[in-house]
């Protein structure tokens, strides 16, 4: 089941493009995201939105992502631990966002339907959250 499965984003498609353009225009002068290899934060944010990470997590910059099941990811780039257990390193994060139970058997976070490439992008976006 890929993230590209068709999901009803209709009412916001036009507006989203404008908002995205506005949002991106605010990126000028920001430091490039560190870590997570060659992941693309912009694509990562799109993956996060299409997979629905916001159902459980609050994620700054992702519309509607206000979940209460799991920790807020605000300030994730400066956090010491992933899942309260593992050192916050890019390689670990990439593995964690794909299938957290490999690293935390007690977690409630299911394996996510994303490719390795998408996991890199998601991690890159999370590291932009200061």
Partner 1 sequence: MWRPISTRWTRPAPLAALALALSACEGPQSALSTGGPVAAAQAFLGHVMYAGAAAVLVLVMGLTAYAMLAPPGARAWLGRRQIIVWGGVTFPILTLSVLLVYGLWLTREAQWSEAGRIAPASASDGTLRIEVVGEQFWWRVRYLGEAGELVFETANEIRIPTGRPVALSLSSADVLHSFWVPSLGGKLDMIPGRITTLTFSADREGVYRGQCAEYCGAQHARMAFHTVAVAPERFSAWMAGQSSPAPEPRDAFLSRGLEVFLSSGCGTCHTIRGTAAAGTSGPDLTGLGGRTSLAAGTFPNNAGTIAGWIASSQHLKPGNLMPSFDALTGPDLRAVAAYLESLE
Spatial separation of the C-alpha atoms in residues 77 and 79, rounded to whole Å: 6
Mark the segment that binds partner 1 (CB under 8 A) among 9-17, 32-40, 71-79, 85-93. Answer: 9-17
Which residue, 33 or 114, has its beta carbon nearer to partner 1?
Answer: 114
| DSSP symbol at 87 | E
Site for partner 1 in 75-114 (CB under 8 A): 101, 104-113
**Taking the complex as a whole, how short is the minimal distance between the CB of residue 118 and partner 1, in angstroms?**
13
Helix ranges, 26-86 (H):
41-51
Mark the segment that binds partner 1 (CB under 8 A) among 30-38, 52-60, 74-82, 85-93. Answer: 52-60
Q: DSSP letters of 27-42?
A: TTTPPPPPSSTT--HH
HSE (CB half, 13 Å, CA atoms) of 42?
8
Binder of partner 1 out of 36, 51, 62, 94 (CB under 8 A): 51
Q: Does 52 contact partner 1 by CB under 8 A?
A: yes
């Amino acid at each position: 089941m890929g993230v590209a499965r068709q999901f009803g984003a209709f009412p916001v498609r036009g507006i989203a493009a404008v908002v995205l353009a506005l949002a991106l225009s605010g990126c000028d002068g920001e430091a490039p995201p560190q870590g997570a290899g060659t992941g693309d934060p912009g694509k990562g944010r799109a993956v996060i939105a299409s997979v629905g990470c916001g159902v459980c997590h609050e994620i700054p910059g992702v519309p509607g992502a206000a979940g209460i099941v799991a920790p807020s990811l605000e300030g994730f780039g400066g956090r010491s631990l992933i899942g309260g257990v593992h050192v916050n390193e890019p390689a670990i994060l990439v593995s964690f966002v794909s299938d957290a139970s490999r690293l935390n058997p007690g977690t409630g976070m299911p394996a996510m339907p994303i490719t390795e490439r998408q996991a890199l992008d998601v991690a890159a976006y999370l590291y932009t959250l200061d």
